[in-house]
Amino acid sequence: MSSSVKGKFVKEMLPGMKKHGQYRGAGMLEVTSDGIWVEGKHVYTLRQRWLFACGIFVGMVVLTGGSLAPGIIIMYLVVEYIWLKDGNQLISFERVERYNAIPKKKLVGIQFQGTEFEAPIVMQSAEWRTIYDELVRYIPHPRVG
């Protein structure tokens, strides 16, 4: 038996998580007997984001002869919410360190062992309880709160 929900990955930090969610935009979480299947996109590494932002900045300055230089806020929005990497993956239950939910905000978060630009995952969905209950069923111990 499996449970899946569609929702929006958000940059929020839930109690017990090490940092903000690294996935962005629309996506899906599915809990199966094999683990947690994630469909969505996540940010690149911090180094890649800085290089990309600097490249766009220099490129715009050169192409416009110095008359147009994008600001830091625009560059931040591009590298955090537009320029994303496909992050479809199966997370085994052994890799899950902790999980938590904030019912008022309809958020569920999963902290797992992975690269710094993949973990944790925070999803906002009206069906958050479905995933949370399945996590409790398969992984009763790393729950926070």
Written as six digits, the tokens of 33 are 């007997």
Helix/strand/coil for 60: helix
pLDDT at 145 over 70: no
pLDDT of 70-80, one tens digit each?
A: 777 888 888 77
Q: pTM for this one?
A: 0.80
pLDDT at 144 over 70: no
- Structural domains in the chain, CATH included, are 3-43+87-138 (2.30.29.30), 46-82 (no CATH)
DSSP string, the chain: --EEEEEEE-----TT-SS---EEEEEEEEEETTEEEEEEEE---HHHHHHHHHHHHHHHHHHTTTS----HHHHHHIIIIIS-EE--EEE-GGGEEEEEEEGGGTEEEEEESS-TTT--EEEE-TTHHHHHHHHHHH--SSB--
The CA distance from 60 to 64, in Å, is 6
